[in-house]
Amino acid sequence: MPVETCYAIDVNNLLQQGALRPGVCRTINWSSVDEWGGTEQRASIGVVATPRGITLHYTTTDYDDSRREHDYTVPVVWVRCNFGGKRPYFICPGVVNDVSCGRRVAKLYTPPTGSYFLCRHCHNLTYYGCNESGDPHFTAVRRTKRAARKLGLDNPEGVYGMERPKGMHTRTFRRLRQDVLDAMDNEPKAYVMVMHKFVSSLK
């Protein structure tokens, strides 16, 4: 699964927000834009900074619709930089095959159906770029997502009916919106190209 489809916590973002100081509480929200241009919250977690790291508080829903509360601490270590200062890192709390991970990472992830925030190695995550090598369809999908993100869209479909964001010039908005539409239009063409290549390989 690509990391781009997961929820992520970035230790550097928390640092910039002052959310690593012990006692500071923050809420992290993940939202998407619906097809009418509105914002819909997809997920949220509570983050409390402690002397050891950060404590995460959130609820997940299992496949049987039962709800599960999560409350655990992710250690944070500070590493000296070569040119002075210190940089924070998470220590991944993952345990895979009874072996603790303990990797030093800047980001932790959980898939939309996941339960815990772990490093990408524990979740066996990849990047879109790793999957798209030589694949026109993956390339087209990535271009669409990249164009959509410039408009603040998690879901490219939200471009339909979207109003110009406040502070964005009309000309810029129209150009970015057309970039998303053009990229979306190219996806099925790229898919047909991939399928044609696959069928040809069977002959």
Tokens of 145: 């997502």
CA angle 82, 84, 89 (to 5 degrees): 75
The Cα 137–Cα 186 span in angstroms is: 9
The Cα 142–Cα 12 span in angstroms is: 25
* pTM, 2 dp: 0.61
The Cα 101–Cα 91 span in angstroms is: 8
Name every residue whose Cβ is closer than 8 Å to that of residue 84 and which is 6 or more positions away in sequence. none
Contact yes or no for 119/109 (Cβ under 8 A): yes
What ranges do the domains of the chain cover? 3-110, 128-202
- Please give the chain's pLDDT, 203 residues, in tens: 677 778 899 999 999 999 999 999 999 988 765 545 556 667 899 999 999 999 999 998 877 778 889 999 999 999 988 777 889 999 999 988 888 999 999 999 998 878 899 999 998 887 755 554 455 656 677 777 778 888 777 777 777 777 888 888 888 888 888 888 887 777 676 656 655 565 565 55
Burial (Cβ within 10 Å: 0-12, 13-18, ≥19) of residue 90: buried
Contact yes or no for 126/1 (Cβ under 8 A): yes
pLDDT of residue 119: 93
Number of residues written out for the chain: 203
